């Protein structure tokens, strides 16, 4: 009975090992696990015993992969199949009964074929892959004056997951901001409303460069603006894009139609110059700023701009404390209205 049990355990172990990737090092050690990726001369392996393991390929003498992989080569279509490393360090790929050798120097990334399909080939549905943050802030004041203020902002982006190889694709940016304020004092009541929504569709034709089309609607009662419609497009470039810093520039042309509470209306052609900067300040804090400047081509000397600065501190992986400063500026509002619409708010943000 003991012999049968021992044999059965050995059989299960060998069967499991047969389904795992096997790495043999130059010192004779063997490591088993599942491939995560091979990039920059380093093999990332997930082992049931040791967890995530990083192994320099220079220390590997042989490596066989249990499941099909995708080799992403420089300037060529990816190659998919069964993979083994040769004594020379080059890769041997078997697919559909054929074997080919690929020079290691031409390979940018090696990853499981199913992971490659989900990251690069598959396209997320319109309701999938949205990422962003929604914030809510509220202020209530009671005294000689009773004031209630509600601030909400939503910023989100729809884009395919980050992939090890770039392919031209679409990216959707959506922003929605509201500031609602109501104040009562004796016989006087003051209500102000600011609503702004922006939809921008980007087409990325390189990792850093894109063209875009945009549409924006604004309602700003403190400027006497009932509705402004802005449509346009242009070119953008991500100058810096990494885990800590984002710096993006945009430029283009827009057409605007605006109507005021007085009944006056107008339309004009404007330029668009924009920037977006984000900086991670340590593990929990982050500072973001965006600025869009619209010089009026139809009326010399007139312009408008909007700028937003947000400082956030993470509470946990989902929640953050946000403080924001927003200025919506119009150089030529109707008489009796302010040119600046400035809002300072604090609230709680939810990341999704």
pLDDT, residue 343, reads: 85
Q: Which of 60, 89, 120 is the last residue of a domain?
A: 120
- Is it the case that residue 321 has pLDDT exceeding 90? yes
Domains in the chain: how many in total?
2
pLDDT, residue 120, reads: 66
pLDDT digit string, tens, across residues 163-198? 666 778 899 999 999 988 887 766 777 788 999 999
- Is it the case that residue 12 has pLDDT exceeding 50? no
- 111 and 132 housed in the same domain: no
- 73 and 165 housed in the same domain: no
Q: What average pLDDT score do residues 156-162 get?
A: 84
pLDDT, residue 13, reads: 40
In sequence order, the 6+-apart residues with CB closer than 8 A to the CB of 40 are none
CA distances from 259 to 193, 221, 223 (A): 15, 11, 11
* Percent of the chain with pLDDT strictly greater than 70: 89
pLDDT, residue 245, reads: 95
Range of the structural domain that residue 218 is part of: 126-351
Burial of 9 (C-beta count, 10 Å sphere; 0-12/13-18/19+): exposed
pLDDT, residue 11, reads: 38
- 153 and 111 housed in the same domain: no
pLDDT-derived band at 143, boundaries 50, 70, 90: low
Domain CATH number, residue 195: 2.40.160.40
pLDDT, residue 82, reads: 86
Q: How far apart are CA 131 and CA 156, in angstroms?
A: 5
Output the average pLDDT for the chain.
85
Among 65-74, 224-233, 327-336, the least confident range: 65-74
Domain presence at residue 15: no
């Amino acid at each position: 009975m003991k012999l049968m049990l021992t044999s059965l355990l050995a059989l299960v172990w060998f069967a499991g090992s047969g389904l795992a990737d096997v790495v043999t090092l130059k010192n004779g050690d063997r490591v088993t696990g599942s491939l995560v990726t091979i990039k920059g001369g380093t093999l990332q392996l997930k082992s049931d015993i040791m967890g995530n393991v990083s192994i320099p390929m220079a220390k590997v003498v042989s490596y066989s992969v249990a499941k099909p992989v995708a080799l992403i080569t420089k300037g060529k279509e990816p190659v998919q199949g069964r993979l083994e490393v040769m004594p020379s360090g080059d890769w041997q790929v078997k697919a559909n009964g054929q074997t080919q050798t690929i020079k290691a120097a031409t390979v940018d990334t090696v990853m499981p074929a199913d992971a490659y399909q989900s990251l690069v080939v598959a396209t997320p549905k319109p309701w999938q892959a949205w990422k962003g943050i929604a914030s809510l802030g509220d202020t209530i004041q009671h005294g000689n004056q009773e004031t209630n203020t509600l601030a909400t902002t939503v910023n989100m982006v729809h884009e395919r997951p980050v992939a090890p190889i770039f392919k031209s694709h679409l990216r959707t940016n959506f922003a929605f901001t509201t500031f609602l304020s109501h104040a009562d004092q004796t016989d006087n009541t003051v209500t102000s409303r600011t609503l702004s929504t922006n939809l921008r569709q980007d087409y990325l034709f390189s990792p850093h460069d894109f063209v875009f089309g945009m549409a924006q609607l604004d309602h700003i009662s403190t400027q006497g603006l009932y509705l402004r419609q802005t449509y346009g497009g242009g070119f953008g470039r991500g100058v810096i894009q990494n885990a800590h810093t984002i710096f993006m520039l945009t430029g283009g042309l827009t057409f605007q139609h605006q109507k005021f509470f007085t009944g006056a209306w107008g339309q004009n052609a404007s330029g668009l110059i924009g920037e977006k900067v984000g900086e991670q300040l340590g593990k929990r804090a982050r500072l973001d700023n965006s600025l869009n400047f619209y010089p009026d081509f139809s009326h010399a000397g007139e312009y408008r701009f909007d700028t937003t600065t947000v400082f956030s501190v993470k509470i946990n992986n989902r929640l953050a404390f946000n403080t924001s400063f927003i200025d919506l500026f119009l150089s030529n509002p109707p008489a009796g209205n302010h040119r600046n619409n400035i809002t300072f708010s604090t609230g709680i943000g939810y990341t999704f």
